[in-house]
Structure 1
Amino acid sequence: MSSNKLQIIKTMQPKEKPDVNQVKFGSVFTDHMFKMNYTIDKGWHDAKIIPYQPITLDPAAMIFHYGQTVFEGLKAYRTNDDQILLFRPEQNMRRLNSSSERLSIPQIDEEEVLYYLQQLISIEKDWVPKDPGTSLYIRPFIIATENSLNVNPSCSYTFMIILSPVAAYYPEGINPVRIYVEEQFTRAVKGGTGMAKTAGNYSAAYNAQSAASTLGYSQVLWLDGLEKKYIEEVGSMNVFFKINGEIITPELNGSILEGITRKSLIQLLNSWNVPVVERKITIQEIVEAYEKGLLEEAFGTGTAAVISPIGELIWNDLSIKINQGETGETAKRLYDTLTKIQTGKISDPFGWTQQVRELDETIPSH
């Protein structure tokens, strides 16, 4: 990796670091950010780490009008011996490129961007919190910046990475939540952008989430957009069910995001010789399993919470109580194992974690 591609400008006004347990998730940001630009003639260029700051865009910038943007979410963790670990960051870069392909955004050099990310976190290493369950949330994203109202892919883009220290998603431990089965709104359809991590997928879900919240539910369980019978995701998370000893998760079908936590849990289950399958599963099958006493657990999975147990599903006025509303043994074992791997508390037999290296001092800085 050629270090002269990266310029570093350090802040002259470092911020006071907050108590992450007292701030809202994703509301406080570190001293520095990464930024680089794309143009057709130069490709990706002008990579730099700069003080965290607002950006200026023309009102005609295409991101505002046509939503051409993709993003990722991952975390850095501090170990007991003060190492800083990333969890499968190469998978996030691969998925970022997959999302970009769907949104007609130019590909990044995954290895190069991982190098830049390592340098950014090395500079911001003191922002990685130490308390149990805390981490440094990492948000890479790309936006279309060409000033045009023409309905075509942009000719220019900006790629940025911002960092936010965050507390444990569940300060009191993982607790089961109540979920409303959504039948009116659709999250995504095959052939759409459901498999991509793009902004519109999330804002399009707000109506359903708000309605569920008003009724006293934490989130919604999404059904397929065509027949409204096949289960897809829960909120913005992948979903798993344990039925009669077997773990089932909806198969990737073009409308479901390929979660990195999802992939990791499947590998863990396979390593434990726990039966796990990826296939279509209907809400009616869940009801029948419940009525037969075979529905043992249900849980969502994602970067922020890792595991979110489901204690109750509500569908057509039917209350489906799962495991007496308690966290199941499988969900707890998966949560404990994955979080201990992420924080270096147990060995990582899969090679999932990467240690953040010290800053490359050969990089020009101002």
Structure 2
Amino acid sequence: MTRDFLPYGRHTIEEDDIEAVVDVMRNGLLTAGPKAAEFEKAFASQVGAKEAVVVSNGTTALHLAVIVAGIERDDIVVVPAVTFLSTANVVEMVGGKVVFADVNPETGLMTLDNLKDAIARVDGSVKAVMPVHLTGHSEGMAEIYAYAKEQGIKIITDCCHALGAEYSDRGKPGDGKYEDFACYSLHPVKSIAMGEGGVVTTNDLKAAQMMRLIRSHDMHRDEESFQHSDMALDVSGQANPWYYEMHKLGYNYRATDMQCALGISQLKKLESFVEKRRKLADFYDDALSSIGNFVKPNDRSKDCLSAWHLYAVQIDFEVVGKSRATVMRKLSEQSIGTQVHYIPVSSQPYYRERYGMQNLPGAEEYYSKTLSLPLFPQMEEADVKRVVDTLHKVLTV
């Protein structure tokens, strides 16, 4: 690639993507037009779900899923400690209670044993669990799903890293095989970009219809749903053309037609984007194998063919005698961007104050060693070699 600086992630926007957005700006409705429905149909087909509901970003997708799943005040939801803030925050937003699960220290993923341990700490019944497909991988979803269903627990998967991933047995994350709802982010560093954008997939038509209402202030315009006929109807008994009703609290979580036009164009390229990410991951695996056992890629799950949203490695910073901050700064000086995914959410001041200090050794170990290296479709094998060679030099000199 031609750019000197390699960020940890970057979108790929091409002329046909730009033209798709410009066409809407020139000829279509900027919002509340036909592009949302068109994008939803294409996204559902891509994932293998019956329904897809597009919203403004990944957090609003998670929030809608939690609402429609029936999570209410004081309901208990299990969330892996290693995830982005929003996975836990949306539970708090509806008044629920978060119980943090530990993770496998080699992958950052919640296992069935981690889930069972979290439930054993609960004083009360668990309403839902939110597995996170961290870095585009998943682990033990069949076992987690079977156990959760036995316990009457709903499953909301955080698939924000997983668009384009595939299960090794059959299907894809978000197709409804192992979840009631799946939530995606279409932020610029994700598998495809909408600027900002999010999607919830489900096989529950009624739930999808509810989400489409809630994303637009729960405004009902169909005559059959009207509850106040004295206001809805004119003197002849016909519905007033301007009339609408709000039956419950809703939000402005709509995506614009410009975003959806970009999403439609990008979705056509998903397969090629993911194929390139997988090749780059293979290049990293080969290059890292020769630089020492103080750096290793995350363990691979046998259950999933990753979409490789991120390429995360584990570095034994104690062994190399350098702090992670020092390594990141020195890499940045060589025009290589890195990031940490993630600080355990359970350690955030808000959650420490709310639930106290958590003993989650797997999450702490994973966090202490993880570092995300540059990975995005515009990179080439030479870029991977440059990253690995520079990392090796920074760690050993």
- TM-score, scaled relative to structure 2: 0.20
**Bigger-Rg structure (1/2):** 2
Q: Report 1 or 2 for greater relative contact order, CA contacts < 8 Å, sequence distance ≥ 6.
A: 2
More helix by share: 2
